[in-house]
Amino acid sequence: MKKYLLYPLYIFLFVFLLDKLFYIPEIRELFVKNNYNFYDMIFNFEDSFYDYHLEKWKKKGFSEEEIFKSSLVFIGTSRSETFREYTEKDIINNPFIRDQNKILNKPVIAHFMRAGTVFHIYQLFEHVTEKYPKDVVFALEVNYGGLNENSYIRQRKDAENLKWSSFKEIYPMLSTGQILSFVTSRLFVLNLYSVSLTKPFQKNKDQSPEDLIKGLFVLVKQYVATKTDNASGFTLEGNLEGEESSEVKNNYKLFIDNFMNTLYYKFKVSNTDDLLFKKMIQSAKEKNLKIIFYRPKIHKDLRKETDLKFKEAEEKYFQDITSILNQNGYSFYDLEKEGEIKCAYFRDPSHLSKTCIPEIIEKFNKVYTNEK
């Protein structure tokens, strides 16, 4: 056998062995830009809020059993973020709710991934629903934009960072490229990471995982969130839809342009993500979860742009999803539907302000309590 025919094998073995040097933590730390497993970082961070949720309500006199029996746990993208941020100040004298005492005594927490694709949200959903007891009520965000195969967020590692158990669970739904990426990541350590040969010489070192998670998936927000007081002294956060100042409108336009050119860039539905969302419904059914599915409300100016891109396809998608949810006995709330919620104060075109959160909580609180 001619020697030159073995050259590809020699090259493969050399690269394979060289790659294994990066199993040494000191070498990986020196050259790797993202020296962490993406999902481990997310899960560890979100687990800290699980602990925070328990401690917060125990201090208010609730037992652990009482906390979980009455908890409402949101799962989604940054559109679910304000469910973790709101405070008593956003409840007391809020003009959009009927019974503030119930909301004041309602344990609510949110677990989210900013700009997360459905692929990412599936991983978070599986982790969170395993973490909490089955007594809690979950509220899962349904975000059509998260299905985009060409979202800039796809540049992050998704299939490569899967654990073996997760890969076995979902591999029939993965594309050939995702399967190959996962397999390659097991053969070559560096397929999990981004390497920089100049990193050892950089003056500014990488941020810690905690700092990274705060900025991870953040689309630069360029908006003006105002605060005004109503007659009862309640502070309204954000801008009322349709009554923004010229400065806010200009910032909204810039935000929307950035949004459409990144998260909704060359919009195309990922078949894998479509299947994974339906798998979440199946998983909820198999685990006998109490769960609410909801579509978040976005600003009419952003809706106008998304309608130009995929209005008919999105409407068809929600018709199909609603049908599947109905067949499985689950509630679906379309907060985009006119009159579904009264509050229309926004932080930016993609996110409702904290002022609107108590109204949504009050609405969802009735689903499993048979209240009218």
List, for residues 97-141, the tens digit of each pLDDT value: 999 999 999 999 999 998 889 999 999 999 999 999 988 999 999
Among the listed residues 180, 186, 181, 187, the one whose alpha carbon sits nearest the alpha carbon of residue 15? 187
The pTM score is 0.84
Cα–Cα dist 172/264, whole Å: 26
Mean pLDDT score across all residues of the chain:
84
Is residue 352 exposed (0-12), middle (13-18) or buried (19+ Cβ within 10 Å)? Answer: buried
Percentage of the chain beyond pLDDT 70 is 81
Q: Which domains can be identified in the chain, with CATH numbers?
A: 62-156+217-365 (3.40.50.1110)
| For residue 158, pLDDT beyond 90 | no
List, for residues 47-56, the tens digit of each pLDDT value: 999 999 999 9
Is residue 59 exposed (0-12), middle (13-18) or buried (19+ Cβ within 10 Å)? Answer: exposed
Q: Choose the weakest-confidence range: 14-18, 64-68, 91-95, 221-225.
A: 221-225
Q: Per DSSP, what are the bridge partners of residue 144?
A: none
Cα–Cα dist 279/173, whole Å: 10
Q: Residue 203: what pLDDT?
A: 56
Burial 162-178 (b: 16+ CB within 10 A, else e): beeebbeebeebbeeeb
Q: β-pairing, 345-348 with 239-240?
A: antiparallel
Q: Per DSSP, what are the bridge partners of residue 240?
A: 345
- Asked if residues 254 and 350 have their Cβ atoms less than 8 Å apart, the reply is no
List, for residues 170-209, the tens digit of each pLDDT value: 989 998 888 888 888 777 766 666 555 455 555 555 444 4
- Asked if residues 251 and 222 have their Cβ atoms less than 8 Å apart, the reply is yes
31-40, 212-221, 315-324 — most confident range: 315-324
As a dihedral over the C-alpha atoms of residue 360, residue 98, residue 331, residue 76, rounded to 10 degrees, the angle is: 20
List, for residues 135-148, the tens digit of each pLDDT value: 899 999 999 999 99
Q: Choose the weakest-confidence range: 56-65, 196-205, 234-243, 250-259.
A: 196-205
* Residue 363's pLDDT band (cuts 50, 70, 90): very high
